[in-house]
Amino acid sequence: MRLRFLTLLTIACLLPIRIWAADTLHIEQKLLSEYNHTALFHKQIWQNSAIRYNLRPFSLTTTSVNGLYEERGSAALVQEGNGEKNFNIKVNSFVVLNQHSRLFGTASYRNGRREDVVWNENSDFSLLYPYVVGDSIGGYMKEEEYKFSGGYTYRFGKWAGGAELDYRAVIAYRDKDPRPRNIISDLKASLALSRNLGEKYILGLSVQARKYNQRSDIKYLADKGPTSVYQMLGLGMDYVRFAGSQTSSRYTGSGIGGSIDLLPVGKNGENNGFSASLRTDYFHLTKELVSINYAPINEVKNVDISLETAWTHQNREWKYGVNLLAALQQRTGVENIFGDPTANVYPKISSVDQFKNATQKIALKGMVGQSLYGSRRWGWTLLPSVGYGQTKPEYKDNGRYVEIASASGGLKAQSLWKVSKMLLSASVAGGYTTNVKSEYSLPGLDTQKSAGSALLSNIDYLSDDHASIALKLRGDYVVNKQYALFLSADWLHQEYKNCGGTDRIEVSLGVTF
């Protein structure tokens, strides 16, 4: 499977080359346009495949080989591990077929492992929580991920239509007891439509559907035999009736979503002016225990709403912008209650909404900069930001809850130099996040047991003040009119007041054409 995927990935890299005969823009001009383009300042709106027609007026493909190393120590959620190492290959392509149509897509392969994962033997914790299968032993988790996405948009008069398909497959496992093996398939499909409103704005609508599956099986090969696993319910609770030996589970989910988007456009394709994107997604997930006839013991109902607004202005020399993002997530967890089994069939007799988590986030970001243009050899950008976030998970039956709120501020400075056939970019960012509110009530929690101490460790991490600094260096070397090679390195360090420091390093080598 890996060899077949890498062959397809190579084909995906080479397919856009045949289009380039009709694309006369020099690769250096394309790179400068990408560095100076304010479109990257607002991201949500470009999820609309019809509006993506206006992303850029030229074809561009990037292929890269990347390596990532991260070490987090105590500053991590225990269910997600405290470190990561992976190798990945990525291809991202946007092709202008003609003046009416655009083709775009991505492909990637990732191979790596997460370290010290406990109380979670599944993958995609943020999607499944709190209903994971957990134990106190855990360990590393090896992962292979394959991703493909492809889309097409066509413009006819004042209208444009688009469609996109996205597929992700994951295999995650551990070759040491306990030995989970998780197989994931995640499919998304979207349709979109947009219309020009006069000469200054485009209004777009999109709809999306999603289908998700994860099968998880745990095996034990050591002579000492199996240990107990638990069906977690959130905030240190577990489904006592099914604790012990239920080591096979299945998660099935489906979702729908949509957006309404407003994008400013100018005569030359600039996105100067006010933009807005309102998006909402609903996702329903069911957890089933395989060995008892796929009894659906838990359900998750998740609603996400996000609003991104921005104002940008760019001329030949200067660029300015303000971006506001507000997001709300409402998550409800359902426990199904079963009667006495007959022939291993558990009849469901009732359902109770026990878990709830409300999360809010708001972030404000500014931009001011001077573009690299004409004979100018240097450009710069400043990006100040402030934000506020709050989360409150609750377990109704015993009155447990945790409420954490934090505020943050930061500044990022970017610079770009043109030296002969080289484009050199550098950025430095610093920020600080401080806790505004941290309170919890956990009646009946045994802090001496592993599950209780893991919960307290998560609370300490999420409520801890921390400072961060990030550095990024990148060099693009123009080989000829069509191709440029690049090398980049990113480093992020976070220093927590009580949980210690974290480091994340990523190195990339690639080609742009």
Q: How many CB atoms lie within 10 A of CB 240?
A: 10
Q: What is the reported pLDDT for 4?
A: 54
What pTM does this model have? 0.91
CB 229 within 8 A of CB 220: no
Q: What is the reported pLDDT for 345?
A: 86
Strands 484-496 and 500-512: antiparallel
CB 275 within 8 A of CB 42: yes
Q: Tell me which residue of 282, 284, 286, 265 sits closest to 274, measured CA to CA.
A: 265
Q: Give every residue of the chain whose pLDDT is below 50, as ranges.
A: 3, 6-7, 10-11, 13-14, 16-21
The single-letter DSSP state of residue 174 is -
Q: What is the reported pLDDT for 2?
A: 58
Structure tokens at 59: 């074809």
Give residue-wise pLDDT tens across range 252-302. Answer: 999 999 999 999 987 665 678 999 999 999 999 999 999 999 999 999 999
Q: What is the reported pLDDT for 21?
A: 40
Query: How many Cα atoms occupy the beta-carbon half-sphere of 53 within 13 Å?
Result: 27
Q: CB within 8 A of 177, min separation 6: which ones?
A: 137, 220, 221, 222, 227
Q: What is the reported pLDDT for 17?
A: 45
Task: Return the domain boundaries, the chain.
Answer: 2-512
